[in-house]
Structure 1
Amino acid sequence: MTSGAILDVARDGIVVFLKVGGPLMVIALLVGFVISLFQALTQIQEQTLIFVPKIVAVFAAMLLFLPFMGDAMAGYMGRVAVRIATGG
Protein backbone atom coordinates (compact mmCIF):
# COMPACT_ATOMS: atom_id res chain seq x y z
CA MET A 1 0.00 0.00 0.00
CA THR A 2 1.44 3.34 -1.00
CA SER A 3 1.56 6.40 1.18
CA GLY A 4 -1.01 8.09 -1.07
CA ALA A 5 -3.48 5.25 -0.53
CA ILE A 6 -2.92 5.41 3.22
CA LEU A 7 -3.59 9.15 3.19
CA ASP A 8 -6.78 8.57 1.17
CA VAL A 9 -8.06 6.03 3.69
CA ALA A 10 -7.16 8.31 6.61
CA ARG A 11 -8.76 11.35 4.95
CA ASP A 12 -11.90 9.36 4.20
CA GLY A 13 -11.98 8.15 7.81
CA ILE A 14 -11.74 11.70 9.15
CA VAL A 15 -14.56 12.85 6.87
CA VAL A 16 -16.75 9.95 7.99
CA PHE A 17 -15.91 10.72 11.62
CA LEU A 18 -17.01 14.33 11.14
CA LYS A 19 -20.20 13.24 9.37
CA VAL A 20 -21.09 10.85 12.17
CA GLY A 21 -20.04 12.92 15.18
CA GLY A 22 -20.63 16.42 13.89
CA PRO A 23 -24.42 16.65 14.16
CA LEU A 24 -24.40 15.26 17.70
CA MET A 25 -21.69 17.69 18.78
CA VAL A 26 -23.52 20.65 17.27
CA ILE A 27 -26.75 19.68 19.04
CA ALA A 28 -24.91 19.26 22.35
CA LEU A 29 -23.28 22.67 21.82
CA LEU A 30 -26.59 24.38 21.07
CA VAL A 31 -28.38 22.79 24.03
CA GLY A 32 -25.49 23.70 26.32
CA PHE A 33 -25.56 27.27 25.07
CA VAL A 34 -29.32 27.59 25.62
CA ILE A 35 -29.09 26.13 29.12
CA SER A 36 -26.13 28.39 29.98
CA LEU A 37 -28.06 31.40 28.72
CA PHE A 38 -31.06 30.34 30.83
CA GLN A 39 -28.82 29.97 33.88
CA ALA A 40 -27.29 33.39 33.32
CA LEU A 41 -30.66 35.08 32.87
CA THR A 42 -32.30 33.44 35.89
CA GLN A 43 -29.17 33.32 38.06
CA ILE A 44 -29.75 29.62 38.75
CA GLN A 45 -26.28 28.17 39.18
CA GLU A 46 -27.13 24.49 39.54
CA GLN A 47 -24.30 22.48 37.95
CA THR A 48 -26.39 19.38 37.26
CA LEU A 49 -29.04 21.34 35.32
CA ILE A 50 -26.96 21.32 32.15
CA PHE A 51 -26.33 17.57 31.97
CA VAL A 52 -29.83 16.07 31.83
CA PRO A 53 -31.20 18.18 28.94
CA LYS A 54 -27.96 17.72 27.01
CA ILE A 55 -28.01 13.93 27.46
CA VAL A 56 -31.67 13.76 26.43
CA ALA A 57 -31.07 15.96 23.38
CA VAL A 58 -28.03 13.98 22.24
CA PHE A 59 -29.89 10.69 22.74
CA ALA A 60 -32.88 11.97 20.72
CA ALA A 61 -30.56 13.23 17.99
CA MET A 62 -28.76 9.90 17.95
CA LEU A 63 -32.06 8.10 17.40
CA LEU A 64 -32.94 10.56 14.64
CA PHE A 65 -29.56 10.42 12.86
CA LEU A 66 -28.86 6.71 13.43
CA PRO A 67 -29.77 5.61 9.86
CA PHE A 68 -27.52 8.31 8.39
CA MET A 69 -24.66 7.48 10.76
CA GLY A 70 -24.95 3.75 10.08
CA ASP A 71 -25.00 4.32 6.33
CA ALA A 72 -21.90 6.53 6.50
CA MET A 73 -19.98 3.97 8.59
CA ALA A 74 -21.12 1.04 6.44
CA GLY A 75 -20.05 2.85 3.29
CA TYR A 76 -16.63 3.58 4.78
CA MET A 77 -16.21 -0.04 5.88
CA GLY A 78 -17.20 -1.18 2.39
CA ARG A 79 -14.58 1.07 0.81
CA VAL A 80 -11.90 -0.14 3.24
CA ALA A 81 -12.89 -3.78 2.67
CA VAL A 82 -12.57 -3.34 -1.10
CA ARG A 83 -9.09 -1.86 -0.61
CA ILE A 84 -8.12 -4.80 1.61
CA ALA A 85 -9.50 -7.35 -0.86
CA THR A 86 -7.75 -5.80 -3.84
CA GLY A 87 -4.51 -5.32 -1.97
CA GLY A 88 -4.47 -1.58 -1.88
Structure 2
Amino acid sequence: MTIDDITAISSTALYLIIKTSSPVLLVSLIVGLIISIFQTVTSIQEQTLTFVPKIICVFLSLMILGHWMMNGMSEFMVSLWSDFSVYIR
Protein backbone atom coordinates (compact mmCIF):
# COMPACT_ATOMS: atom_id res chain seq x y z
CA MET A 1 0.00 0.00 0.00
CA THR A 2 1.48 3.27 -1.10
CA ILE A 3 1.01 6.82 0.01
CA ASP A 4 -1.14 7.40 -3.07
CA ASP A 5 -3.56 4.67 -1.97
CA ILE A 6 -3.82 6.15 1.51
CA THR A 7 -4.37 9.61 0.08
CA ALA A 8 -7.09 8.33 -2.26
CA ILE A 9 -8.89 6.52 0.57
CA SER A 10 -8.61 9.54 2.86
CA SER A 11 -9.89 11.98 0.26
CA THR A 12 -12.79 9.68 -0.61
CA ALA A 13 -13.66 9.31 3.08
CA LEU A 14 -13.52 13.07 3.69
CA TYR A 15 -15.66 13.74 0.63
CA LEU A 16 -18.19 11.19 1.86
CA ILE A 17 -18.26 12.79 5.30
CA ILE A 18 -18.88 16.22 3.82
CA LYS A 19 -21.49 14.90 1.39
CA THR A 20 -23.46 13.02 4.04
CA SER A 21 -23.32 15.63 6.79
CA SER A 22 -23.97 18.76 4.76
CA PRO A 23 -27.77 18.34 4.28
CA VAL A 24 -28.37 17.98 8.03
CA LEU A 25 -26.04 20.86 8.83
CA LEU A 26 -27.74 23.07 6.24
CA VAL A 27 -31.16 22.26 7.72
CA SER A 28 -29.88 23.20 11.17
CA LEU A 29 -28.34 26.40 9.82
CA ILE A 30 -31.48 27.48 7.99
CA VAL A 31 -33.77 26.73 10.95
CA GLY A 32 -31.43 28.60 13.30
CA LEU A 33 -31.34 31.58 10.94
CA ILE A 34 -35.13 31.68 10.65
CA ILE A 35 -35.57 31.46 14.42
CA SER A 36 -32.94 34.18 14.94
CA ILE A 37 -34.71 36.49 12.52
CA PHE A 38 -38.01 35.76 14.30
CA GLN A 39 -36.38 36.54 17.67
CA THR A 40 -34.95 39.78 16.34
CA VAL A 41 -38.25 40.92 14.87
CA THR A 42 -40.29 40.08 17.98
CA SER A 43 -37.59 41.11 20.51
CA ILE A 44 -37.80 37.72 22.23
CA GLN A 45 -34.38 36.95 23.68
CA GLU A 46 -34.95 33.40 24.91
CA GLN A 47 -31.89 31.21 24.31
CA THR A 48 -33.75 27.92 24.46
CA LEU A 49 -36.20 28.93 21.72
CA THR A 50 -33.81 27.86 18.96
CA PHE A 51 -32.93 24.55 20.55
CA VAL A 52 -36.19 22.60 20.24
CA PRO A 53 -37.04 23.51 16.60
CA LYS A 54 -33.48 22.70 15.55
CA ILE A 55 -33.61 19.29 17.22
CA ILE A 56 -36.97 18.50 15.64
CA CYS A 57 -35.84 19.58 12.16
CA VAL A 58 -32.54 17.71 12.40
CA PHE A 59 -34.38 14.59 13.57
CA LEU A 60 -36.84 14.86 10.66
CA SER A 61 -34.04 15.40 8.16
CA LEU A 62 -32.21 12.35 9.53
CA MET A 63 -35.39 10.32 9.14
CA ILE A 64 -35.83 11.48 5.55
CA LEU A 65 -32.18 11.36 4.46
CA GLY A 66 -30.97 8.53 6.69
CA HIS A 67 -31.44 5.85 4.05
CA TRP A 68 -29.40 7.82 1.51
CA MET A 69 -26.68 8.56 4.07
CA MET A 70 -26.45 4.93 5.19
CA ASN A 71 -26.28 3.68 1.58
CA GLY A 72 -23.34 5.97 0.86
CA MET A 73 -21.45 4.86 3.95
CA SER A 74 -22.25 1.19 3.30
CA GLU A 75 -21.02 1.41 -0.29
CA PHE A 76 -17.79 2.99 0.89
CA MET A 77 -17.23 0.28 3.52
CA VAL A 78 -18.00 -2.49 1.03
CA SER A 79 -15.47 -1.03 -1.40
CA LEU A 80 -12.88 -0.83 1.39
CA TRP A 81 -13.44 -4.42 2.50
CA SER A 82 -13.52 -5.76 -1.05
CA ASP A 83 -10.11 -4.23 -1.74
CA PHE A 84 -8.63 -5.39 1.55
CA SER A 85 -6.27 -7.86 -0.11
CA VAL A 86 -4.77 -5.00 -2.13
CA TYR A 87 -4.19 -2.94 1.01
CA ILE A 88 -2.28 -5.55 2.99
CA ARG A 89 0.38 -6.01 0.31
TM bin, normalised by shorter chain, reads over 0.9
Identity, % of aligned positions: 33
How many angstroms does 1:87 deviate by? 3.0
CA distances 1:4-40 after superposition (whole Å, capped 9, x unpaired): 0000000000111011111000000000000000000
Cα separation, 2, equivalents of 1:28 and 1:87: 38
Aligned position for 2:59 = 59
Alpha-carbon offset, residue 84 of structure 1: 1.3
Q: TM-score, normalised by structure 1?
A: 0.95
Q: Does the 8 Å CA contact 1:27/1:61 hold for their aligned counterparts?
A: yes
Partners of 1:19 and 1:72 within 8 A in 2: no
Q: For residue 85 of structure 1, report the CA deviation from its aligned partner.
A: 2.9
Shift of 1:80: 1.1
Name the Cα RMSD after superposition. Answer: 1.0
> Where does the alignment leave 5 or more consecutive residues of structure 2 unmatched?
none
Residue 44 of structure 2 is aligned to residue 74 of structure 1: no
Q: C-alpha displacement at 1:83, in angstroms?
A: 2.3
In structure 2, the residue corresponding to 1:44 is in which secondary structure? Answer: coil
Runs of 4+ in 1 over 2 A off after TM superposition: 85-88
- Which stretches in structure 1 are left out of the alignment for 5+ residues? none
Structure-2 separation of matches of 1:30 and 1:4? 38
CA–CA distance in 2 between the matches of 1:10 and 1:56? 32
- The normalised TM-score by structure 2 is 0.94
Q: Secondary structure at the match of 1:45?
A: coil
